[in-house]
Amino acid sequence: MSLLKEYKNFKDEQRFMVGNKWNENNKIFTSEFGIPLFPTRPSIWFHNFLKRHNLPQITFHQLRHTNASLLLAQGVDIATVSKRLGHAKNSITLDIYSHAMKAKDKEAADKLNNLFVKPKDIT
């Protein structure tokens, strides 16, 4: 919420600076004159940001997928990840990200195995 409030203050300043040239509407993300952004504009900004910082070119969808995979790999529970992604059911997240869950399952099996296997004597 604090970031949105900061953004609103920024837009209020823009509105003040352009005066009667401001295009009033109920959109959150607009140009410097209040004109609604073309839907592809954020993707263009993101592409330019990645290029400017010499980062691999990925899409927003790939970024979303990476975010979910990294969260799962760090042990965040499926319900939390599912909620963050906006999935209606945890099963949707499980179906899509089962590859990330398999890696965590192997890790869990290895840890459990370590409980039962005696360490070899080092001499």
pTM of the predicted model as reported, rounded to 2 decimal places: 0.60
Residue 70 lies in a domain: yes
Domain that holds residue 103: 59-116
Q: Is residue 4 in some structural domain?
A: no
Residue 121 belongs to a domain: no
Which structure tokens are listed for 76? Answer: 């965040």
The answer to whether position 14 is within a domain reads no
Along the chain (123 residues), what's the average pLDDT of each consecutive run of 10 residues? 93 94 91 92 94 95 91 90 94 85 75 79 60
Per-residue pLDDT, 109: 83
**Number of structural domains the chain divides into:** 1
Q: What is the pLDDT of residue 107?
A: 77
